[in-house]
Amino acid sequence: MGTIAAQNKQPEKKTGKKLKTTAIILTLITASLVAVLLYVRSETAKIVSELNSEKDELVVNLETLRGEYNTLQTSNDTLNAQLELEKQKVELMIEKIRRTDATNRTRIREYEKELGTLRDIMRNYIRQLDSLNTLNIQLREETSTAKAEARQSREKYESLVQTTGDLAQKLEQGGILKAREVTITGVNTKGRVVTRARNAHKLKTCFTLLENSIAERGARNVYIRVKGPDGILMTQSQDNIFSAGNEQFVYSDMREVDYQGSDIEMCIFYGGNNEKFAKGAYTVEIYSGGVLIGHGQALLK
- Average pLDDT for consecutive 10-residue bins of the chain (301 residues)? 54 69 80 66 64 79 81 76 81 82 77 80 77 72 78 76 51 69 90 91 92 86 93 90 89 92 91 84 92 90 89
Residue 62 near residue 95 (C-beta atoms within 8 A)? no
**pLDDT given at position 204:** 92
pLDDT, residue 168, reads 44
Q: Please tell me the predicted confidence (pLDDT) of residue 175.
A: 63
Domains of the chain, residue spans: 16-174, 179-300
pLDDT of 249 reads 93
Q: How far apart are CA 139 and CA 218, in angstroms?
A: 59
User: Residue 226: its pLDDT value, please?
Assistant: 93
Q: What is the pLDDT of residue 170?
A: 43
- Which long-range contacts does 74-77 make (Cβ < 8 Å, 24+ apart)? 74/129, 74/132, 75/136, 76/132
pLDDT of residue 7: 53
Q: Provide the β-strand partners of residue 257.
A: 220
The reported pTM is 0.46
- Say if residues 192 and 203 touch (Cβ distance below 8 Å): no
Interior/surface letters 132-155, b for 16+ CB within 10 angstroms, e for the rest: eeeeeeeeeeeeeeeeeeeeeeee
The domain over range 179-300 is classified in CATH as 1.10.10: no
Look at residues 60, 42, 59, 64 and name the one whose alpha carbon lies nearest to residue 108: 59
Can you give the pLDDT at residue 165? 53
Tell me, what's the pLDDT at 79? 78
